[in-house]
A and B are shown apart, each in its own frame.
Chain A
Amino acid sequence: MSAASTIPVVSFRGIGKRFPGTVALQGVSFDVMPGTCHALVGENGAGKSTLGKILAGLYRPDEGHLEIDGVLRRFCSPLEAQRVGVGIVHQDLSFCPNLTVAENICLSRLPNRSGRMDWLELHRQARACLDEIGADCDVQEELGRLTTGQTQMVQIAAALATGARILVMDEPTSSLSAAESRRLEKLIGRLQQRGTTIIYVSHRMDEIFRLCDTVTVMRDGQHVATKPVAQTDEAELIQLMIGRAWTRFFPRHLARPAGAEQLRVEKFSSPGKFYDVGFALHSGEVLGVAGLVGAGRSEMALGIFGLDVNRTGRIFVKGRKVAIRSPREAMALSIGLVSEDRKTQGLILGMSCGDNVTLCSLEHLSRCGIICLPRERTVIADFFGRLRVKAASPQVLARVLSGGNQQKLVLAKWLARQCRILILDEPTRGVDIGAKAEIHQLIEELAADGCAILMISSELPEVLNLSSRVMVMRNGRVRQILNRAEATEERVMQLMAGRAGAEITNHLSSAAKN
């Protein structure tokens, strides 16, 4: 690299960010060199998006600071970040869908003559911006009517129009079609030639290797490694992301004979989400579901729980065909779902911990609709003890607890309901290591107690260690259901990743030899 590029264009210095109840980032420090495409990878909840938002001025860090071109900066608003040349392209933060493309592109400085809109100038400017990146769409079209890919182009055009030379792209391809992704990749190449620095937040391995020069791996809000892409490979990144060193903490699932069939799903499909899913789940069994983000695992779980109106197929509970149209009906069949996102789907954060625990089981704790408070207190105390929930008292708001304790609350909620079929979606995401081990222990105990458990997890060691069998999903389909002996890390990864899997296998076998 040339001498000019020795000063990093962006330096993160000990960035920390807390949200109520969680620590999103902790002591993150690394540099981004000018003109590079810098990938930021990590599992969901690793803090990569939060970091991107801090750079773009959307969040303010609680600790540490940013340096842009070696100058310390404190952004109080996205506008200030814009002024020094930071732009962000984000899926959810797309602009105003009710305004036209041109209006969106020039939103922060609409051309006007003493307050009167200058439409001709507006359209001219917008056209010029779009031409610059080679996007073709009508500047007078309403933004909401464009496809996701086009919207993204408009966002990029808008960011560049503000003079952005550092562009944060947050999961840009997560909802693009293959053709749109390819166009985006070409555009990124062109931008780089112009000297734009790109910070590319993603978890798609293939893109990172095609597009990026440097990669930073994050895990649990902490910086793990920054490496040139040329000096690493997919398998190493996955290892860094999921933290294989933790394997030794996991309890090994005890082999036990599976009991009676509890749940069977046949030809279960929902257009655009998952297709032709079929499996059987027995009592005393943990069926692990492995797959990459977007493989349709969570969607399938929601489908079983009656939260997908478009699903088709058959569900059998204890051999009897059932129709589950709502969570209530699922619960009546003794099915419980610990959903993926405990903050939005699992807990009522503004309610006390105790109230959250008994939320689903109030019917059992009441007579004629009146809650028996002493009985409720006993149940709460019981679960707080059993799950070792660390809270000052059950009256503490759920918001206050750490991720691990919040997750325990969600689990307690379903255990209090005495569900016999439990669907756990990422049961240990964003949970510290101590709580993680405890939750694993609990899953083990539940299975030993005869519960049938369907466990979706993106952490491979977790799946491999806890499951009686492993179901691998990719692109909405079940690739294979492996029994315990077949489910090796290599095999599962291969099935998860598809064609790229072969290389990983090679790497792992060579790593094993060393």
Chain B
Amino acid sequence: MTPDEMPFGISAPPARRKLFRFQETGLLGVIFVLGLALTIFGGSLQIRQPNAGTVETVNKFLRADNLGMLANNASFFAIMAVGEAFVIITGGIDLSVGAIYCLSAVCGAMFLSYFGPGGAGSGASPTWVVPAAILLCMGVGTVCGLLNGAGVVLLGIHPFVITLGTLAIYRGIAFVLTKAQAYTNFPSQFTDGFIRHQLWWHGHALYPVPLLIMLGVTAAAGWYLKHAVTGRHVFAIGGNEQAALFSGLPVKRVKLKVYAFSGLTAGIAAIIMLGYYGSASSDAGTGYELGVIAASVVGGASLVGGHGTAWGALLGALIIQMIGNGIIILNIDQNYSQIIIGSVIIIAVLWDRINTALRERRLTKSAQAVKQTSMEN
């Protein structure tokens, strides 16, 4: 070290929470830029107002219907991505979210259509049928997640393998239960009365419930990660499992919890899907696991463990959904959508990696600084 390289003080390295905030601001920036681009390049659309008989020109992207659809489509993914983020932060992975989503949805659908207008139990009071259906979906999801967790913790098999197996098993169960048939005809108190609850805004129908559930789940999960003891343990285990064990953390119990939570979020997503589409079949959510993992990774969750946020996962889901939406709006050939989304995932992660490397280099320098100053003292 030459004397002029010698540091005079310790430059404040970025703090973890500040860093996350930064990362989330980055994601928000991406969403803003994407939105701006789609607004400008998306062009406009002429809509004939049926009751007034006038023709109105609206922006293709920035119209209420499109934004509402975008948000609702993102809500399934976002909720599951939040759960997935928990698993990924502990250094694990859950491939079975799509299958759990499907199994919960199918169970809920069978229950609801049994008590629905055309079902055998159609006379039942909706005051208990609707909450029971919700609890059923959440329960099925949680149990599936717990089984994943138990496999990981008790059998000691890598989570990738366990959840790859349960992915097939849960979907298989859904198949066997439904005999490959779709279930519809749910009580309207569940669909129109709850999930598809409509609000009218300047002549546009909006469905705010999925959005509110998404925000609620994310806020709760984000708060939990920051304020709960278990939340802190989640980061610790992902950061260094051995040190966590040496510090006496309940490593197994925490792992069990995160997989159960991932299952629970899949159950909650299933509730929204049931209410929003009013039907479910055994092929629901096929391939969702990859979108969900992508959303949490784009949102800053590190597959090595130790890093990630709930809000990041939500924003990641939103970004992926916006790109899909943008491909439609910009009239890009649909066949390209997969290629574009795939590239975005890789670019996002690469960007994160470069950021980390730069940070690491800075830290090494400042570590040298601390060492030097303490030696002088």
Contact = CB atoms under 8 A, between A and B. Distances in A.
B239 A349 contact: yes
Contacts of B245: 307, 327
Interface stretch (B108-116, B124-132, B143-151, B223-231): B223-231
A512 interface: no
Interface residues of A, number: 53
A491 to B, nearest CB: 33
A359 B247 contact: yes
Interface in A166-211: none
B363 interface: yes
Given A327-B248, A351-B306, A373 B227 contact: yes
B261 to A, nearest CB: 14
Interface stretch (B170-178, B320-328, B341-349, B364-372): B364-372
A345 B15 contact: no
A331 B245 CA distance: 12
Given A327-B246, A395-B17, A390 B235 contact: no
Contacts of B375: 432-434
B364 A347 contact: no
Secondary structure type dominating chain A contacts: mixed
B377 A401 contact: no
A413 interface: yes
A355 B13 contact: no
A37 interface: no
A269 interface: no
A226 B235 CA distance: 46
B115 to A, nearest CB: 36
A339 B363 contact: no
B366 A400 contact: yes
B16 A20 contact: no
Contacts of B16: 351-352, 355, 395, 397
B249 A359 contact: yes
Given A344-B243, A345-B243, A348-B306, A400 B363 contact: yes
B16 to A, nearest CB: 5
A359 B254 CA distance: 14
A351 B235 contact: yes
Given A345-B243, A434-B375, A352 B232 contact: no
A243 interface: no
A509 B239 CA distance: 50
Interface of A: 18-23, 305, 307, 326-328, 330-331, 337, 339, 344-352, 355, 359-360, 362-363, 366, 369-371, 373, 390-393, 395-397, 399-405, 413, 432-435
Interface of B: 10-13, 15-18, 227-230, 232-233, 235-236, 239-240, 242-250, 306-307, 360, 363-364, 366-368, 370-371, 373-375, 377
Given A326-B248, A328-B248, A348-B239, 17 more contacts: A18-B368, A20-B360, A21-B364, A307-B246, A339-B246, A351-B235, A351-B306, A360-B247, A360-B249, A370-B227, A371-B227, A390-B10, A391-B370, A392-B13, A396-B15, A402-B367, A434-B374
Pairs of residues from A and B, 9 with the lowest C-beta to C-beta distance, nearest first: A395-B15, A348-B239, A327-B248, A392-B12, A331-B248, A402-B371, A350-B239, A350-B306, A362-B229
